[in-house]
A and B are shown apart, each in its own frame.
Chain A
Amino acid sequence: MKLSFILGRLLSAIPTLLILTFLVFIALHLVPGDVVDIMLGTQNFLSEEQVQQLYSRLGLDKPLMVQYGLWLKNFFTFNLGTSLRTGEPVAKMIVEKFPVTFELALFSIVFSMLLGVPLGIFSAVKRNSKPDYVIRVLGLVGLSAPAFWIGAIFIVLVSGAFVNFTLFGFVPLFKNPGVNLQVMLFPSITLGMMVAAQIMRMSRNSMLDVLSQEYVRVARAKGLPAKKVILKHALRNALVPVVTTAGIQLGYLMGGTIVIENMFALPGMGRLLLQAVNQRDYPVVQGVVAFIGVLIVLLNILVDILYSLIDPRIELG
């Protein structure tokens, strides 16, 4: 049952990806200013023929549909092409950048789950008490401040307060874990703050929903101890929307770390994408978009599976 569901979802993801990459391809080519324009800038000394040669050398003189077809053909043979700017293979660029973004997104989501879920449940159970108010307001504040604003404040405070703390200068986790964790700490917290607040709210609301449901009330009326009711019955069901939120947020974090990566100078996918878009480096944009697309589709399938594991009333497929 499960396997066929997963296979079905994977197959149905193919049109999603085709639509996605096609839209991105068309979008990028419709936007004024192409890779050659940006390469030459406003200090352009080339003759018209030389510019034409540049287009044909980069394979940009072919009709758009042919270019997309070629890209697609290569994509299905796992060849993402090479950057028009640097000549580097796109796959290699992605392999280099992805771990950075993944680490950032993972740390952020772990941080936000660890902070958000317990606080949310505590808040719901202690509804309308003083701790509930404090937690809610704190959560709301976390939700309300712009991420790059918080990031900038961290940078100022940390660079003022700790002399020996490495805030910039990314090194891979397995090369130097100590420095890596230092560098990743504040970006993860900055990015995780808002997600934590969101997850906290979701947990609280969903917990309140569940607590007011018939079966919980029945369980309570039956005289089961409160803790048991909460942990055994309520939590399970309350987690459904939380998982959705976390899944959605993880997806967003994968593609949405651009601002934080720029702020903290982390060499991740977001920065790669931003740079590639700015330079109209088509193969890189296409490759990164397709990669993020595949990732998000897989994530959505995972969320659906978790859904059915947590709430058996929901059937897969």
Chain B
Amino acid sequence: MKRAWSVLLVFLVLVLALGFGAGNLKFAIETEPVGLDPHLITAFASHRILENVYDGLLMYDAEMNLVPALAESFEIVDPNTVVFTLRSNVTFHDGSPLTMEDVLYSFERIRDPNMGSPAASYYTEVSSIRDLGDNRLEFKLNVPMVAPLLHNLAGVNSSIVSKEFVESGANMQLQTNGTGPFQIAEYVAGDHITLQKCANFYEQGIPKLDSITFVIIPEEIGRVSALRNGDVHLAKISEPVSLNMLSANAFTIYRQPVLSYYLLGLNDQAGALADPRVRRAISMAIDREALIKMVAFGEAAVTGVMNPTVEAWAVPPSAFPEFSYNPQKAKELLEEAGYGDGFSFSITAAARYNFDKVAQVIQAQLAQVGIQANLDMVEWGIFIQKWRDIDFDSFVSMNGGSVDPDKQLYRTFHSEGSTNKFHFSNARVDELLEAGRLETNLQKQYEIYAELQYLLVEESPFIFLYSPNNLFASTLRVSGFSPMPNESLTELRVTEIQ
């Protein structure tokens, strides 16, 4: 009798295991999407899901090279003009074919001032988008800035949507109809989102998985336990210390240095902070290695003005004395600036992505050189308002990074830049930024950006800290998964599970 039961049990387990098996990946993530309209979303959590559902004209491969997506190829005709050739065999998830009309409509929709799309500003310098016939599409620019344009085309906010679908009155924040490798099969808010393989994806044999279920588990301990229990196959790890709980012979660990970086943002008009010598002193009084050890458990790297992994453009942080810990030099600089007895300022931070922890370590480190940093811990919504209104002495936050120097630097350091919340204004910096984006000679462009990087460290409008590693862990059944430097998960399309 007992035997019969155990046979039945084994049978049931087998059935369950098989039912589970065949290419259905369960992926524990920490946050859920807020809205599904590719042209409106701003939340990273929405991007992460939708980049597998929608396609743009271009996309990044795992090495952050721009590669064709819905555009089969492109040709830079002159520095102001680029022509794309669309793929011909693409269909939307509802079965309708992708047409030139859909592409034109999508950019109209993005640029429509009534939409309030975050991507609208990408295309302010675009003078015309034209159908040249023969599946060819021409972008003409007012300025010779094709390179940043190409980067802007690779992102969920520049996705191509179906004109017919949008005009049928579909609620785009709730319903999706993309051309990507997966389509949303089920979404239970606060619980899970299931993506189903799209059978007629334009690339043969892609995706490899039949389905992905994103299970939303906000607590780190919950995600780690779920992975260890076998409830999920793949999990986002937010606390590097959790890796200690995952033995190497049962789990695969994925570490991906990302382009985003932590910064100590400074109000360059606030008291002592107005003096670049003081700002450089702060930079040298911060022990970044200790910071990385304490907050990121070593899973991070010191970053410079451009991320050091972007070898084509970056002047490595080791080239600057400002990025190494040197309290002696910091004190000398403070002395020179007339703050030999120290000064006090406040650091605003929210309890998010370890911002509060970074602030605590910086507070303790600055105390060593006689600078008294008072912590102003606020809720995230309040933080954003303070950031927007430049209502702070300094703050800890994270900026998204880019492999393109114009995307990385212009909006942050130009005196008119949209995310220059530092009251930073330097005529030479503006000049270099403007020259850099228009320069078409690669060597000259490199020289401009190199000079700019030295100048930006000299000025230190804010303090670059570090870029963390993005961490994931999976059971050994998962293969082919690789997170990307821009935190994108498009490689899920080539992920497999045994």
Contact = CB atoms under 8 A, between A and B. Distances in A.
B217 A168 contact: yes
B13 to A, nearest CB: 8
Interface residues of A, number: 52
Interface residues of B, number: 53
Contacts of B218: 262, 265, 271
Nearest to A88: B174
A163 B231 CA distance: 10
A88 B400 CA distance: 29
Contacts of A37: 381, 384-385, 388
B488 to A, nearest CB: 15
A33 B121 contact: no
A42 B215 contact: no
Contacts of A47: 121, 418
Interface in A261-314: 262-265, 267-268, 271-272, 275, 278-280
A93 B189 contact: yes
B191 A34 contact: no
Contacts of B387: 42
Interface string A115-155: 00000000000000000000000000000000000001001
Nearest to B118: A45
A51 B116 CA distance: 7
Contacts of A45: 118, 121-122, 411, 418-419
A46 B116 contact: yes
A170 interface: yes
A223 interface: no
B131 to A, nearest CB: 27
A32 B122 CA distance: 29
Contact of A96 (B121, B188, B421): B188
B397 A40 contact: no
Given A47-B121, A167-B231, A278 B42 contact: no
Interface in B375-389: 379-388
Interface string A164-204: 01111110000000000000000000000000000000000
A245 B379 CA distance: 33
Nearest to B192: A169
Nearest to B191: A267
Contacts of A53: 113-114, 116
B166 interface: no
Interface string A17-59: 0000000000000011110011111111111011101100100
Contact of A155 (B188, B225, B381): B225
B53 to A, nearest CB: 16
A224 B36 CA distance: 71
Interface string B227-267: 01111100000000000000000000000000000000000
Contacts of B229: 159, 163, 165-168
A236 B411 CA distance: 72
Most B C-beta atoms less than 10 A away, residue of A37, A156, A265, A280? A265
Contacts of B399: 42-43
A158 B229 CA distance: 9
Nearest to A58: B116
Given A46-B121, A85-B35, A31 B226 contact: no
Given A86-B174, A267-B189, A50 B120 contact: yes
Contact of A168 (B118, B226, B386): B226
Nearest to B40: A39
Contact of A87 (B174, B219, B228): B174
B113 A49 contact: yes
A168 B191 CA distance: 10
A168 B116 contact: no
Contact of A44 (B188, B382, B418): B418
A97 interface: yes
Contact of B225 (A41, A85, A86, A167): A167
B191 A170 contact: yes
A52 to B, nearest CB: 9
Interface string B407-450: 00001000000110100000000000000000000000000000
Contacts of A267: 188-191, 216
Nearest to A37: B384
Contacts of A275: 190
Contacts of A272: 190
A93 to B, nearest CB: 7
A156 B220 CA distance: 12
Given A53-B113, A262-B219, A86 B35 contact: yes
Contacts of A163: 229-230
Nearest to B41: A39
B364 interface: no
A43 B222 contact: no
Nearest to B34: A85
A17 B2 CA distance: 59
Given A163-B229, A169-B226, A265 B419 contact: no
Contact of A159 (B118, B191, B225, B419): B225
A230 B380 CA distance: 55
Nearest to B120: A50
A44 B221 contact: no
A54 B228 CA distance: 44
A181 to B, nearest CB: 16
B400 A34 contact: no
A32 B391 CA distance: 12
A170 B231 CA distance: 11
Interface in B1-53: 28, 34-36, 42-43
A97 B384 CA distance: 29
Contacts of B232: 168-169
Contact of A57 (B114, B379, B382): B114
B383 A33 contact: yes
Contacts of A167: 222, 225-226, 229, 231
A152 B397 contact: no
A33 B385 contact: yes
B121 A32 contact: no
25 contacts: A33-B383, A38-B381, A41-B43, A42-B387, A42-B397, A42-B398, A43-B118, A45-B121, A47-B121, A49-B113, A50-B116, A50-B120, A85-B35, A87-B35, A87-B173, A96-B188, A159-B225, A163-B230, A166-B229, A263-B221, A263-B222, A267-B189, A267-B191, A278-B379, A279-B34
